[in-house]
């Protein structure tokens, strides 16, 4: 009887593991002086998060913990300058996902937006994570691993780039004026050499530009363009993660 129980227990634990019941915690911390509206997008082929985890508000000084499957793959970002119109439609000046709701429910961020990206392996394998400015920038963001082993360095951008953003990339958002976000060169100009597309779709053809170098100089541990892998992707095993919006320099 004891042997049968042990075999059933092992099978149950294996089943729970493979369906992703074991989870990783991603804690979001808002150190901005204003409310942000974090959002998540699950990549194709990965179990999606509950609708409540796809968008919510986060007051200054507040934290929010997301429990995601240990094999989850997706991205996290923050929307800013959000409000509801007379008809009740919710929208944001930066990072909006276009659903008209606080929840993004499977829709991604309209650029520009600072993105924290994760590919979690589970089973004691390597997690890959980065902070990307490839789709532009809307606020400082740092992602760091907690309790793991490996190259668990902090990734991200502590600098506030909105005021120093090159004129060609600077976003003006209606009544909010300029300085609310900074576009990528790809988004601003649509040129394949900035987008690493078409004839420039390989690492040997797509090189850093003056615009990506602006991002890289300000944010050395963030992706500045599509092939900026070497100094921008980090790996860790067995970690939870903390994403801090508007971190201080001590966060890195």
So what's the pLDDT on residue 1? 41
Each residue of 156-191: pLDDT tens digit? 999 999 989 999 999 976 555 557 999 999 999 999
pTM of the model: 0.87
So what's the pLDDT on residue 252? 43
So what's the pLDDT on residue 174? 59
Q: Where are the domains of the chain?
A: 22-160+221-251
- The helix, strand and coil proportions of the chain, stated in percent and rounded to the nearest 5, come to 20, 35, 45
Each residue of 81-110: pLDDT tens digit? 999 988 889 999 999 999 999 999 999 999
Residues 198-216 as b or e (16 or more Cβ within 10 Å = b):
eebeeeeebeebebbebbb
So what's the pLDDT on residue 9? 38
Name the residue with tokens 């409310």.
35
Confidence class for position 128, pLDDT limits 50, 70, 90:
very high
Domain 22-160+221-251: which topology? Thaumatin (2.60.110)
Each residue of 24-64: pLDDT tens digit? 999 999 999 999 999 999 999 988 999 999 999 999 999 99
Mean pLDDT of the chain: 88
Identify whether the C-beta of residue 81 lies closer than 8 Å to the C-beta of residue 93.
yes
Mean pLDDT score, 143-156? 93
């Amino acid at each position: 009887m004891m042997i049968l129980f042990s075999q059933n227990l092992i099978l149950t634990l294996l089943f729970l593991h493979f369906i992703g019941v074991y989870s990783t915690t991603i804690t979001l911390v808002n150190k901005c002086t204003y409310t942000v509206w974090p959002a998540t997008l699950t990549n194709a082929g990965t179990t999606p998060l509950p609708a409540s985890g796809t968008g919510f508000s986060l007051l200054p000084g507040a934290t929010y913990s997301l429990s995601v499957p240990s094999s989850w793959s997706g991205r996290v970002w923050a929307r800013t300058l959000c409000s509801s119109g007379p008809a009740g439609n919710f929208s944001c000046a930066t990072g909006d996902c276009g659903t008209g709701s606080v929840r993004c429910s499977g829709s991604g961020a309209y650029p520009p937006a600072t993105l924290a990206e994760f590919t979690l392996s589970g089973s004691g394998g390597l997690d890959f994570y980065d902070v990307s400015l490839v789709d532009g920038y809307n606020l400082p963001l740092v992602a760091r691993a907690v309790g793991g082993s490996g190259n668990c360095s902090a990734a991200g951008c502590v600098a506030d780039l909105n005021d120093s953003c090159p004129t060609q990339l600077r976003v003006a958002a209606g009544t909010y004026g300029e300085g609310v976000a900074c576009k990528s060169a790809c988004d601003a100009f649509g040129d394949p050499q900035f987008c690493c597309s078409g004839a420039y779709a390989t690492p040997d053809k797509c090189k850093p530009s003056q615009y990506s170098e602006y991002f890289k100089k300000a944010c050395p541990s963030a992706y500045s363009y599509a092939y900026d892998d070497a100094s921008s992707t980090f790996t860790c095993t067995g970690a939870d993660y903390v994403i801090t919006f508007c971190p201080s320099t001590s966060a890195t």
